[in-house]
Amino acid sequence: MIDSLKKNKILCLQAILMGFLPLLCATVFCAMQGGSIGQVYLPNSEWNDELFYFKQVESMLEYGYPQGYYGFNESHALKLSFAAWSPVLVWPWLVLGKLFGWTVMSPIYYNILLVMLTMAGFVLIVRPTWKQLGLLTILFCTYTPFTRYMMCGMPEIICFCMLIFYFAVLVKHLEMPGCRKLIWLVVLAAVMTLMRPYLILFLLYPLGCMVLEKKWKGGLVSVGILGVVAMVYWSINHYLSAEYFTPLFKTQWLEPFFKGQFGEGFKGILVNLYYNGSNFKNLLIEGFYSGIYQGIIFAGYMAMLVLLAFQCVVEFFKKKKKQSFLYGYLAFSFFAMLIAVLLMYKVMEGSRHLLTFMAVGIFAVALMETRYYKKAMFLSALCVFLYYIQGMKVPELQVCFTTEERVSQLAYWEEVFEEKLEVDTENVPSYDNVVIWVLDDAVGQERVATDWQVLYELPVGFGISCCYDEYVIDNFETLQSKYITVPTGGVIAQMCEEAGRVLVGSDEECSFYMLREK
């Protein structure tokens, strides 16, 4: 009993120490860039997806769902009013928002808290050695995307945490199989699939275990689980998601197979892999030389893939079947995701989706039992080069701090919106609660982006429809949304003036008009 108590004390100490590591990293990362965690300011970010996530969560906490439509070129979901991404993505923010409230700093604080809980939970579940914890600390600190995504309003951290918990339970299940662990793996993988469909790769293991253990009964259960997950995902995507400007996934390469032209289909796959793979390789090389964001992600991803595959082979020859399977399964998932990016995403945009896999790769490499821990030290040195030395040149890895100019601007718009805008809560969702955000417009001889950050101050419940200027110009007289925000002095602003639209507010950067009374 005394030995057990001592061990538990040590385990609790380890969990506490690792739990505070994300907070320490966030503090140091911000200090290195001349600020503090409290000075991080979402409205100063250029990542416009953050605006949609923030305002949708705000509306869900207040009303259950946005009272105006979120969409693109005035598209909207068949049911309710969410944008193109699954609302399941932000479920931890909703839980924490209900408990502690929702402000412009909430995503940052909640992201840090989620990673802290994940680090502590990983230690309590896996029980790594002190050496493994030391390696994990080094790798976590050097892989700065962990810290950068804690300091933003994107839900990537939620995906990171979910997959790390999954990995922890997977490690324990391989050590000592059990029904309870298997259920947890199914639940975690199912939720992750509803968040990001490619994470279905991690549903394969628990379903495969069911088939091996229960034979045909397990097969039936597995098929049933897959069917339910697929149906729920399809329902969310079909009914609750607005149509994006372009399809979120490239599926043209599948068309020959539906027509029975299998030869053409396989040829198309090879052609796509060749050309997109060449683009991938060029970006990866450029990441080493110039520090382009996508390139440094690709370089780190490929390094992890090679390390996992190599360790799988090493463990196999050591006759450590469970460890070999663990690293082989992760290597397979990394490779399958790489193929999915090359076939189904634009290579430049698909890079962000690799980060979730890389997050769990950090934990997997830290657990590798290798002589002198060469693989972990190599990866940490690579991360230092890619994400610190080269990363200093990358705007995407820079934290956005508050500025007097932005605070002053938003204070003006907060006053304008409070005075002149009001959410209509009858017959919702409604276009009466929608603001068109024109991406950019011609101002003189230049293309000027709309200063969309002012929309953070919209009244709670409003929806936002992101539109191309061509769409607005072509459909100006028949636009359904009640409001519009555009660059000041641009073509659309002039159209609004000439048509007698009511100017709600204006500054040097953007103007906000009412398109109709009702």
pLDDT attached to residue 11: 87
Report the amino acid identity of residue 201.
L
Q: How many CA atoms does the CB half-sphere of 427 hold within 13 Å?
A: 3
Q: Provide the terminal-to-terminal Cα distance of the chain, rounded to the nearest Å.
A: 73
Please write the tens of the pLDDT for every residue from 450-462: 999 999 999 999 9
pLDDT confidence bin for 2, thresholds 50/70/90 = low
- List the one residue out of 399, 380, 358, 408 whose CA is nearest residue 50: 399
The stretch 298-315 carries a mean pLDDT of 94
- Determine the Cα–Cα distance for residues 258 and 132; give it in Å rounded to an integer: 49
pLDDT confidence bin for 308, thresholds 50/70/90 = very high
pLDDT confidence bin for 262, thresholds 50/70/90 = confident
- Determine the Cα–Cα distance for residues 489 and 491; give it in Å rounded to an integer: 7
H/E stretch holding 28: helix 2-32
The stretch 194-213 carries a mean pLDDT of 92
Read off the tokens for 255: 């068309």
pLDDT attached to residue 263: 82
Read off the tokens for 514: 């009412």
Between the CA of residue 412 and those of 92, 164, 310, 401, 407, what are the distances in Å? Answer: 32, 42, 58, 19, 9
Bridge partners, 513 (sequence order): 484, 503
pLDDT attached to residue 348: 72
Is residue 251 predicted with pLDDT exceeding 80? Answer: no
pLDDT confidence bin for 172, thresholds 50/70/90 = very high
Is residue 10 predicted with pLDDT exceeding 90? Answer: no
- Determine the Cα–Cα distance for residues 303 and 308; give it in Å rounded to an integer: 9
Radius of gyration of the chain (CA): 25
pLDDT attached to residue 184: 94
Under DSSP, the state recorded for 201 is G
- Determine the Cα–Cα distance for residues 447 and 486; give it in Å rounded to an integer: 12
Q: What 3-state DSSP class applies to 143?
A: coil
Whether the CB-CB separation of 7 and 127 falls below 8 Å is answered with no
pLDDT attached to residue 485: 96
Cβ neighbours of residue 478 under 8 Å, at least 6 residues apart?
Answer: none
Is residue 1 predicted with pLDDT exceeding 70? Answer: no
Q: Could you check whether the bond before residue 429 is cis, i.e. omega within 30 degrees of 0?
A: yes
Please write the tens of the pLDDT for every residue from 384-403: 999 988 888 788 889 999 99
| Structure-token match 């890079």, residue found | 351
Q: Does this model's pTM top 0.85?
A: yes
Backbone phi, psi, residue 459, to 5°: -55, 145
Long-range contacts of 191-195 (CB under 8 A, 24+ apart): 191/88, 191/91, 191/162, 192/159, 192/162, 192/163, 192/166, 193/229, 193/233, 194/86, 194/88, 194/229, 194/232, 194/233, 194/236, 195/86, 195/88, 195/89, 195/155, 195/158, 195/159, 195/162
Report the amino acid identity of residue 412.
Y
Between the CA of residue 143 and those of 67, 108, 285, 455, what are the distances in Å? Answer: 39, 18, 19, 32
Between the CA of residue 310 and those of 80, 305, 326, 336, 518, what are the distances in Å? Answer: 48, 9, 12, 17, 64
Whether the CB-CB separation of 242 and 75 falls below 8 Å is answered with yes
